[in-house]
């Protein structure tokens, strides 16, 4: 079985210090959280950035500063900026980090409710536009799918040339408005992608570790982090993103699955090696 790629979603756009005081806002805090995840075994950092007061932003210069600062501490880690940003941002605002030519970036494959009254809007034209920019800029998309219908969308846009193979999906499961996080939901999503694609699963809240365990057994990959869940176990806040990664490493060790280094993750995902 392929080695396990662990992604750490260290920050997100919605989670706040009120939920867990270790949620990073400043550049220094982002570096601290990325370093803890990397040292624990994460090979990909899924990155949102904030202004120092916690407001989410897709500002290109803020991304540049955070990426440069993380690079100094985690030289070979794969940095995967979000193009989802936060609910309500415009397409061009969201696309800014792709102007920095990262190796990967997220590509959200459909519209869904996003808790309460929020709607995360990704029309077909938006997805085509984002897919085309990523092809032009040589960026591998992580196809974020919050429901089965979004897999259908990705496959349709692949046929139309807006996404290229090999495809890498991220099943984000358990968002209020998306698919749930039970075993049958996982089996449904996993069985709906082409055989020549790879996937990561990001379980939200209490679904994080059960879904991680299923993906470890199945040969998939795993995302954990404050964006999705702030608890190490029921009622116990994680002290860092690194603690969440450590828990995945422990489960993988118990189940006999080895952890991929960033260079091995690049190989698995078909990214160019770094010099």
Per CB under 5 A, residues contacting Zn ion are 82
The yes or no reply on residue 144 touching ligand KMH (CB under 6 A) is: yes
Give CA–CA dist 192/184, Å, rounded.
12
- Report residue 199 as tokens: 């996937």
Measured from the CB atom, the residue of 121 and 251 that comes closer to ligand KMH is 121
The yes or no reply on residue 82 touching ligand KMH (CB under 6 A) is: yes
Interactions with ligand KMH, residue window 3-62 (CB under 6 A): 13-14
The yes or no reply on residue 87 touching ligand KMH (CB under 6 A) is: yes
185 binds, among ligand KMH, Zn ion, none (CB under 5 to 8 A by kind): none
What's CA 87's distance to the chain center, in Å?
Answer: 16
Question: Of the listed pieces 68-76, 82-90, 133-141, 202-210, which binds ligand KMH according to CB under 6 A?
Answer: 82-90
- Report residue 204 as tokens: 């939200």
Measured from the CB atom, the residue of 22 and 257 that comes closer to Zn ion is 22
Query: What are 4's strand-pairing partners?
Result: 259
Scanning 203-240, the segments in alpha helix (DSSP H) are 208-218
The yes or no reply on residue 139 touching ligand KMH (CB under 6 A) is: no
Smallest separation, CB 115 to Zn ion (Å): 14
**Which of 197, 216, 89, 95 lies closest to 151, judged by CA?**
197
Query: Are the beta carbons of 143 and 163 closer than 8 angstroms?
Result: yes
Residue with tokens 């196809």: 143
Smallest separation, CB 169 to ligand KMH (Å): 13
Name the residue number minimizing CB distance to ligand KMH.
84
Tell me which of 114, 130, 169, 199 binds ligand KMH, using CB under 6 A: 114
Measured from the CB atom, the residue of 13 and 252 that comes closer to ligand KMH is 13
Name the residue number minimizing CB distance to Zn ion.
82
Measured from the CB atom, the residue of 43 and 98 that comes closer to ligand KMH is 98
**Which of 132, 131, 81, 133 lies closest to 106, judged by CA?**
81
Smallest separation, CB 66 to Zn ion (Å): 14
Interactions with ligand KMH, residue window 233-262 (CB under 6 A): none
Q: What's the chain's length in residues?
A: 275
Give CA–CA dist 267/203, Å, rounded.
25
Helix (H, G, I), strand (E, B) or coil at 70: helix
- Could you count the other beta carbons within 10 Å of the beta carbon of residue 121? 15
Which residues bind to ligand KMH, rule: CB under 6 A? 13-14, 82-84, 86-87, 106, 108, 114, 120, 144
């Amino acid at each position: 079985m392929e080695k396990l790629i662990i992604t750490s979603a260290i920050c997100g756009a919605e989670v706040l210090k009120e939920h867990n005081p270790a949620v990073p806002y400043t550049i220094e805090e982002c570096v601290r959280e990325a370093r803890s995840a990397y040292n624990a075994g994460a090979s990909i950092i899924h990155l949102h950035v904030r202004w120092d007061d916690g407001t989410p932003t897709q500002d290109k210069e803020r991304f540049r500063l955070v990426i440069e600062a993380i690079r100094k501490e985690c030289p070979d880690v794969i940095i995967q900026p979000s193009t989802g940003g936060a609910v309500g941002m415009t397409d061009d605002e969201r696309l800014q980090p792709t102007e920095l030519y990262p190796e990967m970036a997220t590509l959200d494959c459909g519209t869904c409710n996003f808790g309460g009254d929020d709607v995360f809007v990704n029309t077909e034209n938006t997805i085509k536009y984002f897919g085309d920019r990523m092809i032009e800029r040589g960026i591998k998309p992580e196809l974020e799918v919050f429901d089965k219908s979004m897999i259908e969308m990705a496959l349709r846009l692949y046929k139309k040339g807006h996404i290229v193979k090999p495809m890498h999906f991220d099943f984000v499961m358990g968002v209020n408005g998306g698919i749930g996080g039970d075993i049958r939901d996982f089996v449904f999503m996993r069985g709906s992608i082409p055989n020549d694609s790879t996937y990561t699963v990001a379980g939200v809240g209490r679904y994080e570790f059960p879904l991680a365990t299923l993906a470890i057994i199945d040969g998939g990959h795993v995302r954990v982090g404050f964006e999705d869940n702030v608890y190490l176990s029921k009622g116990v806040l994680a002290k860092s993103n690194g603690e969440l990664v450590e828990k995945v490493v422990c489960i993988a060790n118990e189940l006999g699955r080895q952890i991929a280094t960033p260079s091995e993750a690049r190989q698995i995902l078909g990214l160019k090696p770094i010099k």
